[in-house]
């Protein structure tokens, strides 16, 4: 299988994807890693095909104010820097065109980013709804994964994510969740292998996706609201 693995994070985000790509390659898959240009040599050292995404991460962190904000751990300071138009331009520059190149020809796309619509890029190029999705298990992301009608591999770590991860597995729409603290390249590769090869799981996910896509969610929500109002709140 031709697989594109994408991430736009720093070393902490990228290293696990290098390990995953290496393991998938060892199992006979054709794997392409797409990440910040800083990690081209790392990919080459593992014999992994590489394509760059956007500007080098070092250029994003070069600004002293940005580095100080990230180093402080203060969410308020980080958000302030992220809202700066200059910083946003450096962060997002060329990501759209680079992403299109990265997923071209792929049969499956594995990605990590809540800021870049990698899934939408895959759909635009006709990647078959992607073979499976891997995500953290937030409510919105879980809904999007189920709607796609493909198995979901969830790696929850906080809040309601473990509950959604368990529910997906109960529905037969994905393998047993992998808590983030237990996540390893080998466990993730095994889960992906199960998700793309288990016919029963794929059928269950497909049926759930069809039901969700046929729903008028907004209309149903409005009807619930109106019924509540008519009953006097």
CATH 3.40.50.2000 matches 2-214: yes
Which pair of tokens denotes residue 229?
């109002």
Structure token pair of residue 141: 């992301």
pLDDT of residue 119: 62
Return the SS3 of 27: coil
- The terminus-to-terminus CA distance of the chain in angstroms comes to 54
Structural element, H or E, at residue 150:
none
pLDDT at 66 over 60: no
Q: For residues 74 and 78, what is the distance between their CA atoms, to the nearest angstrom?
A: 6
Q: How confident is the model at residue 198 (pLDDT cuts 50, 70, 90)?
A: very high
Residues in the chain: 233
Between 126 and 214, the more confident residue is 214
């Amino acid at each position: 299988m031709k697989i594109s693995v994408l991430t736009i994070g720093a070393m902490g985000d990228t290293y696990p994807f290098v390990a995953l790509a290496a393991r998938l390659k060892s199992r006979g898959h054709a794997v392409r890693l797409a990440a910040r240009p800083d990690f081209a040599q790392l990919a080459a050292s593992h014999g992994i095909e590489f394509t760059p995404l956007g500007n080098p991460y070092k250029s994003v962190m070069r600004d002293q104010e940005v580095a100080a904000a990230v180093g402080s751990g203060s969410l308020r300071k980080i958000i302030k820097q992220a809202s700066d138009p200059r910083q946003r331009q450096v962060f997002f520059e060329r990501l759209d065109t680079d992403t299109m190149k990265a997923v071209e020809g792929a049969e499956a796309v594995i990605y990590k980013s809540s800021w870049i619509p990698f899934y939408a890029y895959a759909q635009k190029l006709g990647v078959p709804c992607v073979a499976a999705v891997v995500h953290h298990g937030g409510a919105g992301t879980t809904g999007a994964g189920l709607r796609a009608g493909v198995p979901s591999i969830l790696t929850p770590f906080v809040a309601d994510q473990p509950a959604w991860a368990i529910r997906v597995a109960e529905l037969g729409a994905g393998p047993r969740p992998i808590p983030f603290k237990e996540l390893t390249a080998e466990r993730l590769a095994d889960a992906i292998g199960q998700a793309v090869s288990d016919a029963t799981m794929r059928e269950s996910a497909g049926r759930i996706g069809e039901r969700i896509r046929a729903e008028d969610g907004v209309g149903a929500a409005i009807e619930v609201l109106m019924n509540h109002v008519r009953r006097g709140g």
